Structure 1
């Protein structure tokens, strides 16, 4: 028995109405002017999962409490008689794995003898079509997300910064919270060992929506060590190098999604209900994981677009993290090598004062190939060297070491500066060193009060004479850089009596973009040092006047003889 036998529809011929729409595959309902059911056809009974008789005399909200009802539109149709179409969504009493279903409903006013008798609604489910639209919309937003990833993640060569950028990038577009955790690297620092069977990761990036930010602070921020039990999602993800999706709200295996079973309860308390963990892998080596978490009304993670996009983003970020690790390692090696080569030069003899300065071009910059040296010679003379290998990094530091070693060997033969440069140029060519270098050699004879200088593409030295109001820049020929094989260097003899300060430097001190080098060097003539003043005071003046505007590494070597 159908609902039409329990109530009179607005039309008097119920049998005729049932014959007309009773077999329709679309769900049909007739409402009175108070929007109460007076008729439903069998198709609507099946759609709603409610017998026809249970509809009669009740409103949609009473029959289907989980349905979004547009009663305002229904009343407009009753009022003006103009048919309308609406989309409604929610759940009926029919079991469904779909979280939210959608229907397209046509509304028409019923009239009889000029009187408004009610409303008829014809419903057709469009859940599949709506889901396809939502999926397409989400896919488009994810494509935009992937396009923007290249300029938002990996903006620096710092591991922690890259991890934080990744976490912030996916919130809130893909997740309500995101955590990036890294496998600790062997960087020479001592760390406590985790207990047996426990995987310890270091949290490197955390981001969350404003509603979750305070609650997630209790789980630890960047720099926190997190211990995972063997069957938790993170160890399983790393072991298989595959994404792992976990339901945090279910009761099955509650400890598998979080570091410990106790942590799951804390996750539930703040509303987290779904997680996906994807590996950060580069060059076949696991680096860590990206964990995405959803809370509240956000849909749970499922296999498909979410996981594909998360893994793509994690893969891109892993490459940036790997670059940052490799840069950090190379930078550490280069710094240690350069530090060993830029230690304070040995004083050739008690009558000579020497001071030096090295400033990298900004914090975190890759070290360059600047070097200096002081070498004792026969007859109380001494050689001072200032050099600059082209480029930066480990290769430049290694080349710098080779240059310095070869020059020390050649200095023992006691040749004039230009001869030393000629021999060094040929030796570099034979050695296969692929990095050119500039070099300035100065041999000071304090007994004669002279200084012999020769340059291989290097800026000229500056002399500060006792009592002078300014410094003098040496006028001398400049030969080609070492490693070019051209040779042709010349020695210039310049006065350098007791108390005169010999000032040698690399081009980072003076070169400025868009400025002629002669103008830049000319600024050095304004350097001063009172008679008997400390060499360190001169270096302090250099830092004050030139360091802030430097665009390259700065190395300075200053010396002064006290007389015979």
Structure 2
């Protein structure tokens, strides 16, 4: 009787389970802890009574098996709970025996209750872990520096700060508009954001893209000098004055209630590339050491992404400058040759490719038109493109037919050790524009758009292997053209589409017609409007034609009728 009174009156939960771990008895305390009437426990397992509790039945079975008592911590939710937080219980479990026979297991449980401070710390730790986990998917989604900076500030506000900025050294984003004064650190604000209640006031500090100057004693300057986080308590006017980049900011900081700040370096390979600034205001708590640890971890991850973006921007700029220099408008080989060109990158985020075009005058009055595509993207492709173009210009001086030019170019590339193959289409056009010799090294056929109602036709050109393979075997095809025929050349990005046969794609080019204006620039605009959307590779296009005054065509025609030399060629006066 005394034992029953003790068990029934204790605040500890007591339960007895049989060898199948079904409840045989629960005391009133365990009934209250579980929020389930005692009668509803009997004959049921813990999992059946409390499906949302991790009861560790495996350890209870071990107690039944070897008779060694165990202390078990379990957690979960019970019907007695309100809210969504998990609860924790610590229990001691012992095997019960009667006359040497194992009859079950008895458990004594106490609920573990953390203090308010511990609960706050636990909640803060969970938020920090969630923040770090989110950083893996929310920062560095592109190779653009400003976008990465914006992703960082959007992540930390409001999770870690009320107001956040990312500032980087100017050369990493754009050249400074003016030199910084001696003793001043100049940064470019790449991103800034704040809580809605602070945005109007924060707007006085400037916007993304502005340059900010910091004196030697400023927290940002000290952070960059030591490559260590700096925590600033802004409650005192003296500290507030040091933190502000200019005296007029002090009143603004105070009006917004800004009371603490953390400046964290954005460093990679031991060198800073900028800073992450975090500010709290109003009723927000001051920054703790744990906050600084999390901020530094986030800054470290973002710095890696920013370094990748910086390297990409550097390489992209070099490659783009190379390609721009190579894809500059070809100089007119003759005043009677009209040329229009376009280059359209598939995507701004994609490295420039090896597409190129050129028109080279030849000493006998003819001119060589070329378009090609070096395999790959980036600086290497742009350099290879320059190599191909230089060799081609050298060979053009020898006034060879197109297939011989390709043969020599193929051999020279193979001997030079250049490891990037390229397709190329050459067309040698006489001064009259009446005859076109075409040869292809793995390139798509040209398109001829005849004036008037004559129509549009694809050049029936035999394509040899790409350049750089050393196989050779190129052929020249002669195509007759009337004066005014437009020769349209292009790279494969114009027509190649995933899931579509290339012959079908190229066949649609037969539908090209000259616009009503007859202008080649308008023609290329229409071509890119029609075929450019959905392109997965860079596009280079070139349109050209010979143009003559009517009296010149008549005189050439008269010579043809008389069978005189120079028929079909313009006469010089």
Q: TM-score, normalised by structure 2?
A: 0.72
> SS of 2:292's equivalent?
helix
Counterpart contact for 2:169–2:187, Cα < 8 Å = yes
Tell me, in whole angstroms, the C-alpha distance in 2 between the residues paired with 1:287 and 1:195.
20
Tell me, in whole angstroms, the C-alpha distance in 1 between the residues paired with 2:433 and 2:278.
76
Counterpart contact for 1:466–1:530, Cα < 8 Å = no
User: Does residue 529 of structure 2 align to residue 540 of structure 1?
Assistant: no
User: Does residue 499 of structure 2 align to residue 520 of structure 1?
Assistant: no
Tell me, in whole angstroms, the C-alpha distance in 2 between the residues paired with 1:154 and 1:267.
31
> SS of 2:198's equivalent?
helix
The gaps in structure 2 that reach 5 residues or longer are 1-79, 83-111, 548-567
494, 497, 501: which is aligned to 2:479?
494
Inter-CA distance 244–471: structure 2 relative to 1 (3 Å threshold): same
Task: Report the Cα offset of residue 531 of structure 1.
Answer: 9.9
2:52 corresponds in structure 1 to none
Counterpart contact for 2:143–2:349, Cα < 8 Å = no
526, 529, 532: which is aligned to 2:514?
529
Inter-CA distance 227–419: structure 2 relative to 1 (3 Å threshold): same
Q: Deviations over 1:121-164 (max 9, x none)?
A: xxxxx998443333233222222211221221122222222212
In the TM superposition, 1:316-465 aligns within 5 A as: 316-363=301-348, 365-446=350-431, 449-465=434-450
User: Does residue 131 of structure 2 align to residue 145 of structure 1?
Assistant: yes
Task: Report the Cα offset of residue 213 of structure 1.
Answer: 1.8
In the TM superposition, 1:162-241 aligns within 5 A as: 162-185=148-171, 189=175, 191-241=177-227
2:490 corresponds in structure 1 to 505
2:146 corresponds in structure 1 to 160
> SS of 1:204's equivalent?
strand
In the TM superposition, 1:244-263 aligns within 5 A as: 244-250=230-236, 253-260=239-246, 263=249
> SS of 1:143's equivalent?
helix
User: Does residue 271 of structure 2 align to residue 285 of structure 1?
Assistant: yes
2:53 corresponds in structure 1 to none
2:539 corresponds in structure 1 to 554
Task: Report the Cα offset of residue 536 of structure 1.
Answer: 2.5
Inter-CA distance 127–353: structure 2 relative to 1 (3 Å threshold): same
Of stretches 532-541 and 368-377 in structure 1, the one that deviates more from structure 2 is: 532-541
In the TM superposition, 1:98-109 aligns within 5 A as: none
Inter-CA distance 210–409: structure 2 relative to 1 (3 Å threshold): same
> SS of 2:537's equivalent?
coil
Inter-CA distance 213–453: structure 2 relative to 1 (3 Å threshold): same
User: Does residue 223 of structure 2 align to residue 276 of structure 1?
Assistant: no
Of stretches 393-402 and 376-385 in structure 1, the one that deviates more from structure 2 is: 376-385
Counterpart contact for 1:154–1:317, Cα < 8 Å = yes
1:113 corresponds in structure 2 to none
Tell me, in whole angstroms, the C-alpha distance in 2 between the residues paired with 1:376 and 1:444.
10
Task: Report the Cα offset of residue 262 of structure 1.
Answer: 5.3
1:132 corresponds in structure 2 to 118
Q: Deviations over 1:501-537 (max 9, x none)?
A: 2111111111122211111111110111279933223
Tell me, in whole angstroms, the C-alpha distance in 2 between the residues paired with 1:267 and 1:188.
28
RMSD between aligned residues: 2.7
Tell me, in whole angstroms, the C-alpha distance in 1 between the residues paired with 2:192 and 2:392.
52
Question: Number of paired residues?
Answer: 441
> SS of 2:532's equivalent?
helix
Inter-CA distance 198–491: structure 2 relative to 1 (3 Å threshold): same
> SS of 2:364's equivalent?
helix
Tell me, in whole angstroms, the C-alpha distance in 1 between the residues paired with 2:363 and 2:205.
69
Tell me, in whole angstroms, the C-alpha distance in 2 between the residues paired with 1:296 and 1:447.
81
Tell me, in whole angstroms, the C-alpha distance in 1 between the residues paired with 2:174 and 2:241.
34
Inter-CA distance 257–381: structure 2 relative to 1 (3 Å threshold): closer
Of stretches 317-326 and 288-297 in structure 1, the one that deviates more from structure 2 is: 317-326
Tell me, in whole angstroms, the C-alpha distance in 2 between the residues paired with 1:484 and 1:426.
9
Tell me, in whole angstroms, the C-alpha distance in 1 between the residues paired with 2:306 and 2:477.
52
Counterpart contact for 2:357–2:371, Cα < 8 Å = yes
> SS of 1:555's equivalent?
strand
Counterpart contact for 1:341–1:401, Cα < 8 Å = yes
Tell me, in whole angstroms, the C-alpha distance in 1 between the residues paired with 2:182 and 2:261.
26
